[in-house]
Amino acid sequence: MLEVHPMNFNDWLYIADSSGWFGLVGLALTIVGFGVTLRNVIRSQRASEDAREAAQEAVVEVQKLKVVTDLSAALSELDEVRRLQRESNWASLPDRMSRVRKLLIGIRIRHPELSVEDKEAVRTAAIVFSEIELQLERHLRDGVAFNAHKMSGHVMNQIDNLSEIIAKIV
């Protein structure tokens, strides 16, 4: 009867021919290669997540820049309104108020990232300028008196409110 002895690894190495050695080296290289591949996949995934986060941050910054640009355009129009007020150039003011109002409505609609408080401040400013525009048109059309000092105070308050929004953003 044939006796079968269990072969240990050292015995196998001793009697293995070159194909056995190549198989063993191939197995070792496969395991190492698989480990390297896994490591690279994990690194790529982390790099992809970092890139996604950076892209999202860039989008937020661009949105902030757009808000600041739009609010700055409104403030620039309001500077012109203040100049026209000082010159008592009432005939030019309704058109300026209309432009400012439209800018503010656009800001509120185009920038959902604004806080509820900031959206409300922009909405309030649009309403104030709409009311001033109507008062000026009644004055120009019907000669209805209006309080220029009070109007100036409203305009300055809204300029301050819009400037505060810009300061919070930047």
pLDDT tens, 7-43? Answer: 676 665 566 565 666 777 788 888 988 888 999 989 9
Residue 7 has a pLDDT of 66
Percent of the chain with pLDDT over 70: 88
**Structure confidence at residue 26 (pLDDT):** 81
Of 3-7, 122-126, 159-163, give the lowest mean pLDDT range.
Answer: 3-7
- Mean pLDDT for the stretch of residues 143-157: 92
Distance CA 127, CA 104 (A): 10
State mean pLDDT over 90-114. 92
* Dist. CA 78–CA 161, nearest whole Å: 12
Among 18-27, 62-71, 98-107, which stretch is predicted with the lowest mean pLDDT? 18-27
State whether residue 8 is helix, strand or coil. Answer: coil
Structure tokens at 33: 């290669």
For the four alpha carbons of 52, 58, 62 and 64, in that order, the dihedral sign comes to positive
Give the model's confidence band at 134: pLDDT under 50 very low, under 70 low, under 90 confident, else very high: very high
- Alpha-carbon gap, residue 144 to 134, rounded angstroms: 11
User: Cα separations (Å) of 55 from 51, 58, 62, 168?
Assistant: 6, 5, 10, 22
Max CA distance (Å), the chain: 128
In the numeric block, which tokens belong to residue 135?
């008062």
Q: Where are the domains of the chain?
A: 57-169
Residue 100 CA to residue 69 CA, distance in Å, equals 14
Instruction: Give me the DSSP letters along 119-160.
Output: HHHHHHHHHHHHHHHHHHHHHHHH-----HHHHHHHHHHHHH
pLDDT surpasses 60 at 122:
yes
Domain 57-169: give its CATH architecture: Up-down Bundle (1.20)
User: What pTM value is reported for the model?
Assistant: 0.70
* Mean pLDDT for all residues in the chain: 88
The reported pLDDT for the residue numbered 27 is: 82
Q: Which of 113, 116, 82 is nearest to 96 (CA)?
A: 82
Instruction: State residue 153's pLDDT score.
Output: 94
Residue 46 has pLDDT above 80, yes or no: yes
